[in-house]
Structure 1
Amino acid sequence: MSFADIAAFESALRTLPAPDPAARAAAAARQAELTKPPGSLGRLEEIALFIAGWQGRARPRIARGRAVVFAGNHGVVAQGVSAFSAAVTAQMVANFASGGAAINALARAAGLTLTVVPLDLDHPTADFTEEPALREAECLAALNSGAEAIGDADLLVLGEMGIGNTTAAAALAAASFGGAAADWAGPGTGIDAAGIAHKAAVVEAGLARHAGALCSPFEILRRLGGREIAAIAGAVVAARQARVPVVLDGFIASAAVAPLAVAVPEIADHLLAGHCSAEPGHRRLLDRLGLTPLLQLDMRLGEGSGAAVAAGIIRAALAAHDEMATFAEAGVAAG
C-alpha cells in the first residue's frame, strides 16, 4: 500500500484492523490438546496464538519471512553526537549488499529474506536543532518507502542503519512520552559520559526548537526523525493494514513507533519486541509501548539484528504448535 497524502496516512493509523478472534480461539483449542501440560511451553504458546490471530489461521507458519533494513543520514550529526561520521551509513549499506554484515548472517540463520532500502543517503536530513529534519513531502515519501517495502511478507522484521539516529530516537521518545532528554539519550555508537551529556543537550535544543509544533505523529516524525525512522513507521502502519505481524529491533525501531502509539496506543497490538537492547532508554520505551521483549542479550548493533535472532524463537514457537501430536493422535492419556 501507499499513502496518497498526510490525511491518508493519518486515516490508516486510525482505522486499524484487529486480529482474527476465531483463528486465535482455534489455535488455543489446539494448544489445549497437545501432548504437554497446559502452559508448559510458556511464552512460546502465547507467540503461537499471537501469530495465529494475525495470520488468520489456527496453525500459522512463516513461509515469507522478511527482514527490511532502512538506511538514512542525519544532519544532526554535525552537532558531534556520534563516534562515527555520516559516511559510515553508505559504507555499511555497501557491506549489506555484499553480504558481510551481521544482519546478513542472522537473517540467513532465521530463514528471512533480507531487503535493504537506502533512502537518499547523499542528502542528510536537516539538523533538527535548527529546522524540521524533513519537509512534508520528504517525510511522506519516507513513510511510503516503508509501506511499499513489506511486499507479501507473512512476518516482518524491521531494522535500520543511520549514523546519528540514536539522537533522533531519543528526541522522538522524549517528544512522545515526556521526560528529560537525559532520560532517553545513551551511548549509541559508543560515546562516553561527556558525549552522552552533549547528546542530551542537543536533544533538548531540538525539543525547544519545535515546542508547540509537535502536534501529531506525522509532525513529530518529520521534525525530529529521519528518513529511515519514518520508513519504519510507514512499514508498521502498512503491515497492520495487511494484518502482518511485525518484530521490532532495538531503540531506534521502537522510537519510530512512539509517536504513533501516543495517538493510537493499539498500534502496538501487532508488534513483538525482538529484544531489549543495551541502549539505556530502550527498556523504558518498551514499557511505554506495553511490549515485553522476547530476548535480552545486551545487543546494541541495530541493523535488525536482535529482531532477526528473535525470529528464530518465533519459528520454534510455531513449529511446536504445528508439529506436536495431540493427546488423541499420540495415544497419551490427557490426565
Structure 2
Amino acid sequence: MIEIPLPDSGAHADALARLDALVKPLGALGRLEELAAWLCAAHGTVPPRPLDDVRVVVFAGDHGVAGASAVSAYPREITAAMVRVFLAGKSGVNVLAGQVGARVRVVDIAVDDDLDGVPDEVRAYKIRRGSGAIDVEDALEAGEAERAFEAGRAIADAEIDAGADLLIPGDMGIGNTTVASALVAAVLGVPAEDVVGTGTGVDEAGRARKVAVVEAALARAAGRTAEPFSLLTALGSACAAATAGFLVQGAARGVPVLLDGVYSGAAALVAREIAPDAARWWLAGHRSTEPSQAFALKALGLAPILDLGLRLGEGSGAVQAVSTLRAARAIIAEMGLLADLA
C-alpha cells in the first residue's frame, strides 16, 4: 500500500478567502483562481511557493503494434532516433520547455535498440527491448510491469530529491496512442471505436486498422484487466507502467504533477487504480486531439488548462500550461486587497 498525503484543505479555504478579497470582482479571474487555490492546498501555504524547478521526464519505448499492424504513419525506428534528438536538445518539448525554464530528461524504458553511445543514465532503468504486440500477445512478461512501475517511482524520487517543484511526464514511442486507447477502453469499458483516434495522422483506413487492433487486444485480454498490473502486462507497456509509477510517487511525495496528453492520461487511469488518492495531486495540462484522453480526463475529474489542438506528446502540451500555473500563483501572491484601497 502506497501512502498518499492529502492536500491541505485549510490552505485551500484560506486561499479562496484571500482570492475573494483581492482588488477585483468576485471570481473575475476564473480558472486562474481555481488553480491558485489548488496550488495553495498542494503546498499547504498561502500564497503557494514559486514553481521555479519544473522537470519533464520523457519515457521512451517501442510497441509491437507499430510493426505489422501499421497503426502509425511512422516506423518504430523513429523512437530510437528521437531519443538522440531529445539528448541534442532539438525536440519539440526541448524547445517549448526552454521557454519556461523547464528541464527535460529522457529515459529509455523499452526502446527496441541498444542506443549505443547514449549516456548510461538514459538506459539505467531499461526493462526490455520493445513491448509485445498487444493484439496477439501480452505486452510484458510476468513481473515486468511491477519492475517498470518501481522504476518510475525511483525516477520521480530522483527528480524530487534534485529539487523539482513540478513534475511533467512525457512520452515517446511509435504506437503509443494505440496502447493508450486499449488501456482507456479496458479500464472504462468503452468501445474501441469510441476511443481510437488518428494518432500521428493516419487516414481513415489507418484508424480502422487501429480500431481492429484494439478490439483484438481487448478480446484477447478479456478477464485479465481488473487488476492494474495484470492490465499493464496484457495491454500496456513498460513505459505506461513506469509513467504510472512516476505519477503515483509524485503524489506520495506531495509534489504536483501536470499530465500531458493521451499517454499520460491513460497511465493516470491505471495509476489511480493502484493509489486512488494520488489523483488529488494531478492537473491536466492540455486537451489532446485524441478521443481517449477526453474519456480518461472525465473519469479522473480533470479539466484541461489549455486547448491548443496539440497531439505531439513528449510533454510538449503540459509545458505550455506552466506559465498559466505561474500566473495563478502570481495573482494570489502579488495582487492587492480591496481592504487596502484608499
What TM-score do the two structures reach when normalised by structure 1? 0.90
The reply to whether residue 92 of structure 1 matches residue 88 of structure 2 is no
User: What amino acid maps onto 1:37 in structure 2?
Assistant: P
Distance 1:53 1:193 in 2: 45
Show the counterpart of 1:217: 228
SS in 1 for 2:55: strand
- 1:106-132 deviation digits (Å, cap 9, x = unpaired): 111122121111213131111122222
Report the 3-state secondary structure (helix = DSSP H, G, I; strand = E; otherwise coil) of the residue aligned with 2:20. helix
Counting matched residue pairs gives: 319
Query: Is 1:22 paired with 2:33?
Result: no
Amino acid in structure 2 at the alignment position of 1:332: L
Output aligned runs, 1:275-286, within 5 Å.
Answer: 275-286=286-297
Q: For 1:119, what is the secondary structure of its paired residue?
A: strand
Whether the 8 Å CA contact 2:177–2:199 is kept in 1: the answer is yes
Deviations 1:28-82 (A, max 9, x none): 2332332222211111011011111112221112132211111111112122211
Give the Cα separation in 2 of the matches to 1:266 and 1:241: 9
Counterpart in 2 of 1:303?
314
Q: Displacement, 1:182?
A: 1.0
Which segments of 5 or more consecutive residues in structure 1 lack a partner in the other structure? 1-10
State whether residues 71 and 162 of structure 1, in contact with CA within 8 Å, keep that contact through their aligned partners in structure 2. yes
Instruction: Give me the TM-score of the superposition, normalised by structure 2.
Output: 0.89
1:141 paired residue number: 147
8 Å contact 1:176–1:262 — kept in the other structure?
Answer: no
What SS does structure 2 have at the residue aligned with 1:84? Answer: coil
1:1-335 map, 5 Å: 11-12=1-2, 15-60=3-48, 61-78=50-67, 79-121=69-111, 122=113, 123-150=129-156, 151-152=159-160, 153-261=164-272, 266-328=277-339, 331-332=340-341
Q: Deviations over 1:167-206 (max 9, x none)?
A: 1001001100012111111111111111111111111111
How far apart, in 2, do the equivalents of 1:263 and 1:62 lie?
A: 28
Higher mean alpha-carbon deviation, 197-206 vs 222-231, is at 222-231
Amino acid at match of 1:105: V
> What residue ranges of structure 2 are gaps of 5+ in the alignment?
114-128
- Aligned equivalents of 2:9, 2:137: Cα separation in 1: 45
Check the 8 A contact 2:184/2:295 in 1, yes or no.
no
- Residue in 2 aligned with 1:5? none
Check the 8 A contact 1:72/1:118 in 2, yes or no.
yes
Deviations 1:209-230 (A, max 9, x none): 1111112111112211112211
- Percent of paired sites with the same residue: 45
**Structure-2 change in CA distance of 1:83 and 1:49 (3 Å):** same
Letter in 2 for 1:312: S
Alignment-mate amino acid for residue 138 of structure 2:
P
RMSD of aligned alpha carbons: 1.6
